[in-house]
Amino acid sequence: MKSAIIRTPASVGFLSELNASYAELSAQDILRDAIEDRFAGRIGIVSSFGAESVILLHMIASIDPTTPVIFLNTGKLFGETLRYRDRLQALLGLTDIRAIGPHPDDLKKSDPKGNLWQRDTDGCCHIRKVLPQARAIGGFDALITGRKRFQTGARQEMDIIEQDSDGRFKVNPLANWQLDDLKTYIETHNLPRHPLVKDGYLSIGCMPCTARVEEGGDYRSGRWAGSDRDECGIHIDGDGI
Catalytic sites, residue numbers: 232
| Separation CA 78–CA 83 (nearest Å) | 9
**End-to-end distance of the chain based on CA atoms, in angstroms?**
28
The total of other beta-carbon atoms located within 10 Å of residue 172's CB is: 24
CB atoms within 10 A of CB 125: 25
Residue 33 DSSP code: H
Q: What's the one-letter identity of residue 111?
A: D
| Residue 147: strand, helix, or coil | coil
* Phi–psi pair at 217, nearest 5 degrees: -75, 165
Classify burial at 15, counting beta carbons within 10 Å of its beta carbon; exposed 0-12, middle 13-18, buried 19 or more. Answer: middle
Query: Amino acid identity of 55?
Result: I
> What separation in angstroms does the CA of 146 have from each of 6, 13, 171?
22, 25, 9
All residues at 6 or more sequence positions from 186 whose CB lies less than 8 Å from its CB, including other chains: 52, 54, 55, 193
Give the separation between CA 239 and CA 223, rounded to whole angstroms. 19
